Amino acid sequence: MNIPYYHAIGKEVQVFEHAYNCKIPFLLKGPTGTGKSRFIEHMAHKLDTKLITISCHEETSSTDLIGRFIIKGAETVWLDGPLTTAVKEGHILYLDEIAEARPDVIVAIHSLTDHRRELFIDKLGETIKAHKDFMLVASFNPGYQRGFKELKPSTRQRFVAISFDYPEEKIEAEILVSETNVSKDDAKRLVNIATKIRNLTELGLTETVSTRLLVDAAHLIHTGLPKRLAVHVAVVEPLTDDLEVIQALKDLSDLMI
């Protein structure tokens, strides 16, 4: 498989390589759709190591990560969870949106994220030492608006952290062209629309236009959907349900595409 395309924005590649050598837990901070997942896929490929990704949500528990007993015929057998597998076999475990998970997940990773590098499996009463190649990576959306979960300082301080944000305009347009083969002109127009909307802080959007939304719009345009319609459905509608704001954003983007 080809290496997943990732356009570096700053020093993140270099920093990650060093953190990987030292196996220091790594935190990717930033809003949704800014390339965090793509970055870690790219790095795992580059470092020739396996990546296990868990998309955390409010029901994600330590049992989901560590493992559970299951009934198989007449027997009860233990099944390792993805974290246990990664710890034993030496993979990168990526906890996407870690703050969404239940608090017992944070407790479970504590001993893995300090000098001990060990996992306690309470259901088996066993402690296992992490494989030398095991590394924990997590992402977190700091979101300054209501509704986003925080990460405690005692957890954050177990990670080396890097911030992700929307790339500068030229780079973002290059990403759209690479990802979708859309024309350079259309890519530039999409990025201009995004920049304009991102600056409209008075709209009070919970999250603004991400690179992911622009990639979707560019795909639709490249496959022949009328440009205005593509921007309406891929950029404007996902942002808000407020009819007035939708109309204002449609008017604005119609003028710009």
The full DSSP string for 153-173 is HHHHTTSEEEE--PPPHHHHH
Residue 8 C-beta: closest distance to ligand ADP, Å = 7
The amino acid at residue 127 is T
Q: Is 179 in the site for ligand ADP (CB under 6 A)?
A: yes
Residue 67 C-beta: closest distance to ligand ADP, Å = 26
CA 45 from centroid of its chain's CA atoms:
16
> CA–CA separation, 6 vs 37, rounded Å?
10
Q: Is 33 in the site for ligand ADP (CB under 6 A)?
A: yes
Q: Which of residues 9-28 bind ligand ADP (CB under 6 A)?
A: 9
Residue 26 C-beta: closest distance to ligand ADP, Å = 14
Tokens of 38: 């793509």
Q: Is 215 in the site for ligand ADP (CB under 6 A)?
A: yes
> CA–CA separation, 148 vs 204, rounded Å?
15
The amino acid at residue 173 is A
Of 177 and 248, which CB lies nearer to ligand ADP in the complex structure?
177
Residue 117 C-beta: closest distance to ligand ADP, Å = 26
Of 121 and 215, which CB lies nearer to ligand ADP in the complex structure?
215
Residue 216 C-beta: closest distance to ligand ADP, Å = 9
Q: Which residues contact 231 (CB under 8 A, 6 or more apart)?
A: 190, 193, 217, 253, 254, 257
Q: What's 207's DSSP letter?
A: S
Q: Is 34 in the site for ligand ADP (CB under 6 A)?
A: yes
- Tokens 């060990």 belong to 118
- Tokens 């030292």 belong to 22
Interface region with ligand ADP, contact rule CB under 6 A, candidates 4-12, 73-81, 149-157, 245-253: 4-12
| DSSP collapsed to 3 states, 106-117 | HHHHHCCCCCCC
Of the residues 16, 19, 27, 35, which one makes contact with ligand ADP according to CB under 6 A: 35
Of 104 and 207, which CB lies nearer to ligand ADP in the complex structure?
207
Q: Is 78 in the site for ligand ADP (CB under 6 A)?
A: no
Q: Are strands 51-55 and 67-72 parallel, antiparallel or unpaired?
A: unpaired
Point out the residue whose Cβ comes nearest to ligand ADP.
35
Contact positions toward ligand ADP, by CB under 6 A?
5-7, 9, 32-38, 167, 175, 179, 211-212, 215
